[in-house]
């Protein structure tokens, strides 16, 4: 096996052995879809413009997975590895540092997307959800959003000094972002000023993008906004990432 | 064969703090070379400069003829490294760690053979973080050997280990040397340096203040040695005290203790006794230890062992 394949396999195994990672990245979204589906069903409702709850909200749940995977799990794991000296041990080998980052991103990206895929499967097969738009569009949007938030996680890892700060910032950021994204509480229920502010959040943009792709009303704004955040996060991570 | 590691006037500062102030020495092929020194003497900094993990400010370092700062990748291929505070990502088994690190190199050792050689075969499927201190340290030695290095750097490898585990690690280091790999280690345990190293350099305040074999260091310093024996009959006290290398003679009943220095002094004492026709029984010599040398050179006690 090549170094990259071996590294990807080792990182995949250790990520899948982490109960928190498995729960939030793989199990949470399908589980949430089942619970919400059982509570609200998918019968057409006027407040959702004539579609059911699951059809109207299913893809939004991806935002929760993506935000936790990127902003909470990445910094805690990588700052932890930086503090114990695990990352430094790799520096003492011929492995190129970028290969480690690439393998780690790939593993997390695939696992989070599998979780989102399972969630959509639950919605479609379990509750009869049907996209007006395309499933491929939804998956592309989810793929972009996952990448953006993993990059944000790496940027956060680069700038936080200690594991404690990483945990604090991750948790302080992630819950308001989730609430403002419309993934849990419909944005329409929030005050107008808050709704406007929420548009500045990349997680809100992701939800808008996902909904557009699902409903067959795709928009370019979320794609442009998310690509910009991806570029900025990558720059910060590349500039400030520390191995020790 | 030419020297494996050559340092010439190596200088390194962290801000205003001068850590290495012109370090020069050479490590010969096939030897276990030890570097001892008080905490903060610059041992780890020096080793990290040699490993290419840190940039030195001045002087020259050559490892296997390579420049650690410019030919870092080739250096990594041909050297093995055990860092002072080593860790691995959590939730990886011993076998996985070894197979992973083996994949980074062009011509790696067989991980399974390596595990057996280091007595880790029955721990292959255990997470590295669940191992005991001694076992974990053997994993990091295995990682340092996985690329069949020509020279291996071991930084404080028995610090924090129990005596039993330390003895086992020493055997591992001797095996490495016997297999033809040069070993460069740092330690602050004098006994470790005495038992393991072919030559020892003493680093103090950023300089090498002495470099020799352990007996050579002890002898060169003229550190005191004691010779004691039991005599029946008349002791040629005046003639013993007249020997140039003898500093003091003490007698308690039949037991005599002669204090002196230099490598030849015990033989001179015995010579005087046999000329005088005195029969000495239960002859014991007690040589000064590296600890005394260390104290003399650095003015400090070797760091106490962390409990």
Query: Do A89 and B90 lie within an 8 Å CB cutoff?
Result: no
Residue B304 has pLDDT above 60, yes or no: no
Q: Are A71 and A203 in contact (CB under 8 A)?
A: no
pLDDT tens, residue by residue, A150-197:
999 999 999 999 999 999 998 899 999 999 998 888 888 888 999 899
Structure tokens that stand for B210 in this block: 């002495």
ipTM value, please give it.
Answer: 0.90
- The distance of A136 to chain B (nearest Cα, Å) reads 34
pLDDT at B223: 62
> Rounded CA gap, A215 and A203, in Å?
18
pLDDT at B260: 82
For CA atoms A183, A188, A193, A195, the dihedral sign is positive
Q: Are B259 and B200 in contact (CB under 8 A)?
A: no
Residue B222 zone, left/alpha/beta (φ > 0; ψ -120 to 50; rest): left
Q: How far, in whole angstroms, is CA B305 from its chain's centroid?
A: 15
Contacts of B97 in chain A (CB under 8 A): 10
Query: Do A94 and B77 lie within an 8 Å CB cutoff?
Result: yes
Structure tokens that stand for B81 in this block: 């490294």
> Rounded CA gap, A62 and A145, in Å?
9
Residue B39 DSSP SS3: coil
* B291 contacts chain A (CB < 8 A): no
- For residue A188, what are the contacts with CB-CB under 8 A and spacing of at least 6? A195
**What average pLDDT score do residues A47-64 get?**
90
Interface test with B, best of A19, A82, A85, A92 (most B CBs within 10 A): A92
Structure tokens that stand for A241 in this block: 């990432």
- The distance of A84 to chain B (nearest Cα, Å) reads 6
- The distance of B190 to chain A (nearest Cα, Å) reads 27
> Rounded CA gap, B211 and B233, in Å?
44
State how beta strands B199-204 and B280-286 pair.
unpaired
* A2 contacts chain B (CB < 8 A): yes
> Rounded CA gap, B153 and A137, in Å?
53
> Rounded CA gap, B116 and B77, in Å?
23
Residue B77 has pLDDT above 50, yes or no: yes
- For residue B233, what are the contacts with CB-CB under 8 A and spacing of at least 6? B278, B279
Looking up tokens 């953006």 gives A148
Taking alpha carbons only, the member of B210, B214, B224 closest to residue B290 is: B214
- For residue B154, what are the contacts with CB-CB under 8 A and spacing of at least 6? B82, B141, B144, B173, B183, B184, B185, B186
pLDDT class for B289, splitting at 50, 70, 90?
confident
Contacts of A94 in chain B (CB under 8 A): 73, 76-77, 104-105
For CA atoms A19, A20, A26, A30, the dihedral sign is positive
Residue B307 has pLDDT above 50, yes or no: no
Q: Are B118 and B56 in contact (CB under 8 A)?
A: no
Query: Which residue among B76, B86, B103 sits closest to A2, beta carbon to beta carbon?
Result: B103
pLDDT tens, residue by residue, A191-238:
899 989 999 999 999 999 999 999 999 889 999 999 999 999 999 999
Environment class of residue A108 by beta-carbon count within 10 Å: exposed (0-12), middle (13-18) or buried (19+)? buried
Query: Do B105 and A85 lie within an 8 Å CB cutoff?
Result: no
* B86 contacts chain A (CB < 8 A): yes
Query: Do B53 and A91 lie within an 8 Å CB cutoff?
Result: yes
């Amino acid at each position: 096996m090549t170094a990259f394949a071996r590294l990807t396999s080792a990182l995949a195994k250790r990520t899948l052995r982490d109960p928190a990672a498995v729960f939030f990245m793989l199990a949470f979204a399908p589980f949430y879809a089942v619970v919400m589906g059982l509570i609200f069903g998918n019968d057409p409702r006027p407040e959702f413009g004539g579609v059911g709850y699951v059809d109207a909200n299913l893809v939004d749940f991806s935002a929760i997975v993506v935000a936790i995977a990127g902003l909470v799990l990445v910094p805690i794991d990588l700052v932890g590895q930086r503090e114990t000296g695990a990352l430094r041990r790799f520096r003492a080998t011929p492995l190129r540092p970028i290969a480690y980052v690439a393998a780690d991103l790939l593993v997390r990206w695939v696992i989070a997307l599998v979780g989102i895929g399972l969630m959509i499967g639950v919605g479609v097969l379990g509750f009869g959800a049907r996209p007006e738009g395309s499933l491929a569009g939804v998956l592309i949007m989810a793929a972009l959003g996952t990448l953006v938030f993993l990059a944000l996680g790496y940027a956060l890892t680069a700038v936080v000094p200690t594991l404690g700060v990483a945990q604090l910032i991750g948790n302080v950021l992630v819950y308001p972002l989730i609430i403002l994204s419309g993934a849990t509480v419909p944005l329409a229920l929030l005050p107008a000023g808050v709704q406007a502010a929420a548009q500045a959040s990349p997680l809100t943009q992701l939800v808008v993008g996902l909904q557009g792709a699902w409903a067959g009303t795709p928009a370019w704004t979320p794609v442009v906004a998310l690509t910009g955040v991806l570029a900025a996060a990558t720059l910060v991570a590349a500039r400030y990432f520390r191995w020790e | 064969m030419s020297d494996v590691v050559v340092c010439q006037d190596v200088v390194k500062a962290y801000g205003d703090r001068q850590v290495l102030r012109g370090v020069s020495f050479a490590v010969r092929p096939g030897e276990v070379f030890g570097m001892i020194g008080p905490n903060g003497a610059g041992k780890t900094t020096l080793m990290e400069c040699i490993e290419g993990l840190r940039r030195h400010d001045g002087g020259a370092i050559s490892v296997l003829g390579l420049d650690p700062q410019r030919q870092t990748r080739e250096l990594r291929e041909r050297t093995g490294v055990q860092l002072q505070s080593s860790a691995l990502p959590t939730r990886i088994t011993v076998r996985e760690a070894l197979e992973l690190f083996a994949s980074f190199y062009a011509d790696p050792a067989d991980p399974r053979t390596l595990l057996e050689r280091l007595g880790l075969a029955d721990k292959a499927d255990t997470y590295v973080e669940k191992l005991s201190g001694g076992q974990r340290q053997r994993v990091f030695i295995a990682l340092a050997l996985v690329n069949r290095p020509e020279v291996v750097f071991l930084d404080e490898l028995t610090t924090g280990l129990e005596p039993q585990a330390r003895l086992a690690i020493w055997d591992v280091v001797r095996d490495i040397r016997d297999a033809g790999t040069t070993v460069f280690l740092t330690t602050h345990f004098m006994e470790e340096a005495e038992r393991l190293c072919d030559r020892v350099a003493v680093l103090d305040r950023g300089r090498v203040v002495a470099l020799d074999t352990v007996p050579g260091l002890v002898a060169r310093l003229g550190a005191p040695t004691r010779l004691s024996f039991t005599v029946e009959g008349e002791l040629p006290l005046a003639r013993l005290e007249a020997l140039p290398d003898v500093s003091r003679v003490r007698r308690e009943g039949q037991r005599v203790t002669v204090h002196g220095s230099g490598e030849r002094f015990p033989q001179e004492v015995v010579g005087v006794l046999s000329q005088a026709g005195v029969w000495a029984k239960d002859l014991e010599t007690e040589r000064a230890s590296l600890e005394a040398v260390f104290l003399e050179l650095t003015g400090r006690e070797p760091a106490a062992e962390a409990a």
